[in-house]
Amino acid sequence: MSKWRNIAFYTLIIAFLSGIMFAAGCTLIKDITPKEETSQRQEGIADASLPGVGPDTIANIVDKVSPAVVKITTVVEVAGYNNNPFQNDPFFRQFFGISPQPQYQSGLGSGFIISKDGYILTNEHVIDAAQEISVLVKGHQKPFEAKLVGADPSMDLAVLKIEGNNFPTLNLGDSNKIRVGNWVIAIGSPFGLEDTVTIGVISAKERPLEIDNRTFEHLLQTDASINPGNSGGPLLNLNGEVIGINTAINAQAQGIGFAIPTSTVKEIIDDLIKQGKVQRPWLGVQIQQVTPDIANYLGYEGSTGAVIFGVVPGGPADKAGIKEGDIVLTIDGTKIEDPNTLIKTLQKTKIGAKVEVEVFRKGKTINISVEAAERPANIK
């Protein structure tokens, strides 16, 4: 009997100790779980309870910013004749003394309000040569008549003004902080369909592109749908800030659109509002990269510099004696590594100031003094 009592006693002790260990294990697990969840959140695992993350994020941004996005309609005069087929015959027009009658075309674009008193930012090509500019603001039945305040064809930017107060506005964000892969939102009036919203990501940055004889160096590329009529509308980050102005699409591709970054806009917007234009120093030359073939042809043993392949007749460089085939080596002592260096160096020059240009020509290095002029308005 004492043998069975001993067995029962030891069994109770083992059961008691097992219970204590189980309870301690539960407590340990209970203590660890919150730390693991916190660690997961810190590592960026999606959590709908976190601020700014959820199924309505983009919808909330659109509700907030869309009242400041406007539809722009223009009227442009174009040369032409009425639909009478005889008026298209030169002999008929000369015999009856018929002169061309002005014809008008309408244009569409987008823009956004940047100040409560009605300043609007858009593309220059949206309002180029327009006789009339109308702006439709959300919440207003009738469009506003807009006045052109300033425009810069080379950057494809323009500022308009409508009369009124307390307009909704958008803030210009920092395009330098946007990263490839970040979500973006485009709002505008493609084909006249105002308040159209599309989303995508930043596909690339610092894209060089030539559009309608305009040369851009720092465009943002996005796969957000951008169509005719979107031009001048905002490209926004998920804070509802403008990081780009939608300006072009690639007609031969899908999902490739471009926007002018706000870093470019901020450099000139004050000049557009205060002066109506951006004054830029100009030498009147066309430049290109020094390639091995060009260097060999010109007898140049270096690889840096900018090759002059065109000189504008009557321009500052032409008057000073700069010629096609010259290679610009320095400007006022600053070494010219490539065409971009030349452009950036020239931008620091005041209009009317003389600059010393060192060029390579036919195996010799010569110095030429050139007076920088203001860039003509008709050169984009």
Q: What is the CATH number of the domain that holds 364?
A: 2.30.42.10
Q: Which of 66, 231, 263, 326 is catalytic?
A: 231
| Residue 125 designated active-site | yes
In this prediction, residue 104 carries a pLDDT of 84
Domain with residue 134: its CATH number is: 2.40.10.10
Boundary-marking domain end, from 232, 248, 274 = 274
258: which 2 tokens? 């471009």
Q: Which of 66, 110, 125, 152 is catalytic?
A: 125
| Residue 218 designated active-site | no
Sequence-separated contacts (24+) of 53-59 with Cβ below 8 Å: 57/238, 58/183, 58/185, 58/197, 58/199, 58/238
Q: Same domain for 256 and 206?
A: yes
In this prediction, residue 35 carries a pLDDT of 41
Spatial contact of 337 and 318, defined as CB atoms under 8 Å apart: no
- Which domain covers residue 260, as residue numbers? 175-274
In this prediction, residue 118 carries a pLDDT of 97
- Helix/strand/coil for 343: helix
Going from the C-alpha of 220 to that of each of 42, 77, 175, 187, the distances in angstroms are 30, 33, 9, 16
Boundary-marking domain end, from 226, 241, 274 = 274
Report the distance separating Cα 126 and Cα 166, nearest Å: 25
Spatial contact of 68 and 168, defined as CB atoms under 8 Å apart: yes
- Whether residue 45 lies inside any domain: the answer is no
Q: Same domain for 142 and 93?
A: yes
Q: Same domain for 183 and 266?
A: yes
Q: What is the pLDDT along the chain (380 residues), one digit of tens a residue?
A: 455 455 545 555 554 545 544 444 444 334 434 443 333 333 323 333 334 557 788 999 999 999 999 999 999 987 665 555 555 555 555 555 555 667 888 999 999 999 999 999 999 999 999 999 999 999 999 999 999 999 998 889 999 999 999 999 999 999 999 999 999 999 999 998 989 999 999 999 999 887 776 778 789 999 999 888 999 999 999 999 999 999 977 767 778 999 999 999 998 999 999 999 888 888 999 999 999 999 999 999 999 999 999 999 999 999 999 999 999 999 999 999 999 889 889 888 888 999 999 999 999 999 999 999 988 866 65
pTM of the prediction? 0.70
> In this structure, what are the phi and psi dihedrals at residue 94, rounded to the nearest 5 degrees?
-70, -40
Q: Which of 66, 156, 189, 263 is catalytic?
A: 156
Report the distance separating Cα 209 and Cα 248, nearest Å: 10
In this prediction, residue 30 carries a pLDDT of 42
In this prediction, residue 171 carries a pLDDT of 96
| Residue 303 designated active-site | no
Q: H helices of the chain, where?
A: 2-42, 57-65, 90-96, 124-127, 262-275, 292-298, 316-320, 339-347
Is 206 exposed, middle or buried (CB count within 10 Å of its CB: 0-12, 13-18, 19+)?
Answer: exposed
Boundary-marking domain end, from 250, 274, 298 = 274
Report the distance separating Cα 102 and Cα 41, nearest Å: 66
Q: How many domains does the chain have?
A: 3
- Whether residue 170 lies inside any domain: the answer is no
Angle (CA) 181 201 116, round 5° = 120
Spatial contact of 233 and 253, defined as CB atoms under 8 Å apart: no
- Whether residue 321 lies inside any domain: the answer is yes
Q: Same domain for 115 and 179?
A: no
In this prediction, residue 84 carries a pLDDT of 56
189: which 2 tokens? 């009036």
Per DSSP, what are the bridge partners of residue 369? 356
In this prediction, residue 28 carries a pLDDT of 39
